[in-house]
């Protein structure tokens, strides 16, 4: 029966390893998306490099917004379109208003379409790097500073930047209680 025991030991290790693998898929997926630029994920921390050079080409950036789960928020881009020069930093902002009667905590999640060009859209500053606290009735300007990388391929049309705003008040309040 020694061989049965060794079979069980080996198989149990496989079970544990596969359970671990399911969790390992999370960073693998993120890394895979980051390397390949899939999924429209943009940089999650501010771009601080200085190797982007100005080029004499222009590209149209469109801004759109969504509010998740019908949260009581007004959330729209200040300008919906900008024609920008590749390699030159630009500023713009979104406007958010709290339409509810209480203070809300929010966070925004960005996405670039087409996804494979997300890596060329560098955010130098973005409200999406932080969470927001907004009082009842308050109106806030949420700023972005960005630059389009001059490595951007030439055969592309417009780039769409989308933000989805989430109301995370419940989560923040619960976390404060702990």
Burial class (CB in 10 A: 0-12, 13-18, 19+), 71: middle
Distance, C-alpha 142 to centroid of its chain: 15
Integer Cα distance of 65 and 165 in angstroms: 8
Window 81-110: contact mask with other proteins (x via CB under 8 A): --------------------------x-x-
Q: How far is the CB of 58 from other proteins (least distance, A)?
A: 27
Give the shortest CB-167-to-other proteins separation in angstroms.
8
- Which residues lie closer than 8 Å to 127 by C-beta, 6 or more apart? 94, 108, 142, 143, 144
Neighbours of 75 (CB within 10 A): 21
Q: Which of residues 7-66 bind other proteins (CB under 8 A)?
A: 7-8, 11-12, 14-16, 18-19, 21-23, 25-26, 29, 36, 38-39, 44
Q: Which is nearer to other proteins, 86 or 126 (CB)?
A: 126
Contacts of 130 (CB under 8 A, 6+ apart): none
Nearer to other proteins, 113 or 145 (CB): 113
Q: Which residues bind other proteins (CB under 8 A)?
A: 1, 3-4, 7-8, 11-12, 14-16, 18-19, 21-23, 25-26, 29, 36, 38-39, 44, 68, 107, 109, 115-116, 164, 166, 168, 171, 174-175
């Amino acid at each position: 029966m020694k061989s049965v025991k060794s079979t069980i030991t080996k198989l149990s290790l496989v079970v544990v390893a596969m359970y671990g693998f399911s969790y390992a898929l999370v960073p693998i997926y993120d890394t895979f998306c980051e390397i390949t630029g899939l999924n429209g994920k943009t940089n999650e921390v501010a771009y601080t490099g200085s190797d982007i050079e100005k080029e004499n080409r222009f590209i149209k950036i469109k801004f759109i917004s969504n509010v998740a789960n019908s949260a009581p928020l007004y959330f729209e881009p200040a300008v919906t379109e900008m024609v920008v020069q590749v390699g030159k930093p630009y500023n713009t902002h979104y406007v958010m208003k709290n339409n509810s009667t209480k203070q809300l905590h929010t966070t925004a999640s960005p996405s670039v379409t087409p996804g494979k060009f997300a890596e060329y859209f560098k955010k130098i500053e973005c409200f999406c790097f932080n969470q927001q606290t907004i009082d009842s009735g308050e109106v806030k300007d949420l700023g972005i500073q960005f630059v389009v990388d001059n490595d951007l391929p030439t055969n592309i049309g417009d780039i769409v930047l989308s933000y989805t705003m989430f109301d995370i008040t419940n989560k923040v309040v619960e976390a404060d209680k702990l």
